[in-house]
Amino acid sequence: MAERIPVPRLLSRSATMWLSVAVAAVGVPAIVVWAFLTQPVGNRVAAVVIGVIFVGFVVFLVTRRTWLDPDRGLLVREVAGVWRRSVAWSDASELRVGSSGGQAMLEVRGAGRRTSAYLPLVAVDLGGDRSLPPEFLHTLADQVERWAPHRSAVIKQLRAQADHVAAGGTVRESPVARAHLARSR
């Protein structure tokens, strides 16, 4: 099996965000069980459907994995070990840093349909200010440089972000946040 370099997750640093996740994780199943035990048959069916959807959503979130395959030059996203999407750096029709909400993301758009992958680099949102670690950003820049050297603008942004974070700079003042996130400007 090829070497995998796991992509670190940009998890929330906010205690209230984690509290709301815990409340949802306990509250939704509790309401589903209550509805199943105390409501008429029609509502029981709805409770089971909601329970199944909730479990599916949790499984989806918990089992998502993203990694780099340095031997083949791929960015791979996988859910539950079943659904896998990979995009080759060299075949990407588009490789750019963009923004979505409070996150700056590396967009790797494959040549085919439904082959895009988005990799969060920086987040400035309710979950706190956070960035990928500088070691990983350097590794990511090395991979892009090796497999798609003509993407020099992206490589420069990744290296500048890595150097800024390694030097102890704040996420809001980082090059990627300033260039792509409106709240950081």
Instruction: Read off the pLDDT of residues 60-119 as tens digits, 9 standing for 90 and up.
Output: 888 989 999 999 999 998 988 888 888 999 888 889 999 988 899 999 988 776 778 889
Average predicted confidence (pLDDT) for the chain: 88
Residues 111, 117, 118, CA angle at the centre, nearest 5°?
A: 135
- For range 31-43, the mean pLDDT: 87
Q: What is the pLDDT of residue 158?
A: 97
Query: 71: Cβ–Cβ under 8 A, 6 or more apart, which residues?
Result: 2, 3
Could you tell me what percent of the chain has a pLDDT over 90?
A: 48
Give 32 or 154, the one with higher predicted confidence. Answer: 154
In which band, very low, low, confident or very high, does the pLDDT at 183 lie, cut at 50, 70 and 90?
low
Q: What is the pLDDT of residues 140-158, one digit of tens each?
A: 999 999 999 899 999 999 9
In this prediction, residue 2 has a pLDDT band, given cuts at 50, 70 and 90, of: low
pTM of the model: 0.80
Residue 169: what pLDDT? Answer: 95
Total residues belonging to the chain: 185
CB of 175 within 8 A of CB of 165? no
What is the identity of the amino acid at 71? D
- Looking at residue 96, its pLDDT comes to 93
Per-residue model confidence (pLDDT) at position 140 = 96
Q: What type of residue sits at position 85? A: R
Q: Which of 87, 28, 21 is nearest to 55 (CA)?
A: 28
* 86 within 8 A of 99, measured Cβ to Cβ: no
Instruction: Find where tokens 């909730």 sit.
Output: 54
**pLDDT in the model for residue 75:** 92
